[in-house]
Chains A and B, each alone.
Chain A
Amino acid sequence: MDKALFEYLLRLGDDSLVLAQRLCEWSSRAPTLEVDLSLSNLGLDLVGQAQLLLGYAGEVEGQGRDEDRLAYHRDAEEYRNCLLVEQPNGDFAQTMARHFLFSIYRELLLDELVGSSDTRLAEIAAKAVKETRYHAELASDWVIRLGDGTEESHRRMQDGLDWFWRFVDEMFAVDEVERVLIERGIAVDPAVTREAFDARVTQVVKSATLEVKPSTWPQTGGRQGNHTEHLSTMLAEMQVLPRRYPEATW
């Protein structure tokens, strides 16, 4: 088995899956009906991407685990998502801050992965990047609308950015697993996208009359399975049915 590729696909797939689950927690609770629709749609796209990525991961592993098995029958420490996506939704501004930072990172990453030497991964990236552009646009619009809104919305949006900034560095960190794959032309060195990320984030943040305050305490560990306490409680809810009734089918 290509262990590095398996790990990498889990990272990409778990980012999608965990964020999808978080977004769907907003269903029926969003500020307006239109926002409710948007957040569920974003979640749906991410579930679709997770299906493709985890399905491929299962094939690479070759142990007979499909995407559902990987999604529902792994514990928190076996998840490889970054810490940013597992954080609780907070208020709407926090959710938008998280989605803003993630979808810009992800759009730039997918854009590069379209050129991956792994054909299957390149195909998935080409499909997913189109959806992700919509996500980045939607989140950017909300960051501007809330930032350049009322005193209250401005304060909340700034708080959201301040809180989530500590999880940004992890998305761009490279460890041994990725270094090997970058050399093989399969993975993307996230460093090549960092400059573009900073530029795009800064541009939006400026028009939102907000500011980026670099965190002095960056958090990492998700890629190695060291998660915050929030992931396990989220997974407990997400996995309860297939774990309680392993043979259940729709």
Chain B
Amino acid sequence: MAATTSISEELRNRIQEVLANVPDPEIPVVSVVDLGIFRGIVEDDTGNAVVQITPTYTGCPATLVIEQSIREALANAGLSGVKLDTVLSPAWTTDMISEEGRDKLRDYGIAPPPKGSAATSVRHSTAVQCPRCGSKDTQEVSRFGSTPCKALWRCCNCAEPFDRFKCH
């Protein structure tokens, strides 16, 4: 499937390494790679490497910050020639969050969306596990939370409130 490309494997790896260390500005424990915001690396007409990213929510204010952080990180790594392009299609879903990303979210206190749940409606979602005590005795407090991607929940067992990454 890979078309002929003049982008070396080495350059690809270097770019990916840089991106793996660019945190999400609102959930800094996960990187843009963990979240699936990073789409891939393509080549433009002039042979330059272009990093493709995709927004999570159309209105997410973090999108601009993420763009800037990626540009900065690439420049700091001596890769300022690498371009950045935002693509919409296919639309981002929570299924694009990596396994590692899900684990990091849970450790951080945010209940990750179960894999394969992107198409399901929040209203009919299955029991959500409390990221602190692991209990499934939990309740939705507000379907919209502190950022577009999160809902507000509480645990009826340990009584702690927690964020839940919305299925999307």
Partners in one complex: yes
Chain B positions near chain A (C-beta within 8 angstroms): 55, 57-61, 88-93, 121-123, 141-146, 148, 152, 166, 168
Contact of B145 among A37, A48, A49, A128 (CB under 8 A): A37
Find out whether the CB atom of B91 lies under 8 angstroms from the CB atom of A127: yes
The digit string for A203-226, where 1 denotes a CB below 8 A from any CB of B, is 000000000000000000000000
**Given A37-B142, A51-B58: 4 more A-B contacts, CB < 8 Å:** A44-B57, A44-B60, A131-B57, A137-B123
Residues of B within 8 A of A119 (CB): 89
A127 and B93 alpha carbons, distance in the complex (Å): 9
Residues of A within 8 A of B144 (CB): 34, 37-38, 40-42, 134, 138
The digit string for A139-178, where 1 denotes a CB below 8 A from any CB of B, is 0010000000000000000000000000000000000000
Judge whether A130 is part of the interface by a CB distance below 8 angstroms.
yes
Residues of A within 8 A of B142 (CB): 34, 37-38
Residues of B within 8 A of A123 (CB): 88-89, 91
Find out whether the CB atom of B122 lies under 8 angstroms from the CB atom of A127: no
Show 28 A/B contacts (Cβ-Cβ < 8 Å), sorted by A. A37-B152, A38-B143, A41-B144, A44-B57, A44-B59, A44-B60, A44-B148, A45-B59, A45-B148, A48-B55, A48-B57, A48-B58, A49-B58, A51-B58, A123-B91, A126-B88, A127-B55, A127-B58, A128-B58, A130-B91, A130-B93, A131-B58, A134-B122, A134-B166, A137-B122, A137-B123, A138-B144, A141-B123
**Which chain A residue shows the least CB distance to B119?**
A130
B56 to chain A, nearest CB (A): 10
Q: How many residues of A contact B (CB 8 A)?
A: 28
A141 and B142 alpha carbons, distance in the complex (Å): 12
A188 to chain B, nearest CB (A): 18
Find out whether the CB atom of B143 lies under 8 angstroms from the CB atom of A138: yes
Find out whether the CB atom of A126 lies under 8 angstroms from the CB atom of B58: no
Residues of A within 8 A of B92 (CB): 127
Find out whether the CB atom of B60 lies under 8 angstroms from the CB atom of A48: yes
The 7 residue pairs across chains A and B that have the minimum distance between CB atoms: A48-B59, A48-B58, A34-B142, A41-B144, A44-B59, A38-B144, A123-B88
**Which chain B residue shows the least CB distance to A124?**
B88
A66 and B138 alpha carbons, distance in the complex (Å): 45
A200 to chain B, nearest CB (A): 14
A54 to chain B, nearest CB (A): 12
Find out whether the CB atom of A37 lies under 8 angstroms from the CB atom of B146: yes
B93 to chain A, nearest CB (A): 8
Most buried by A among B89, B144, B145: B144
User: Could you tell me which residues of chain A, from 8 to 46, have a CB within 8 Å of some CB in chain B?
Assistant: 34, 37-38, 40-42, 44-46
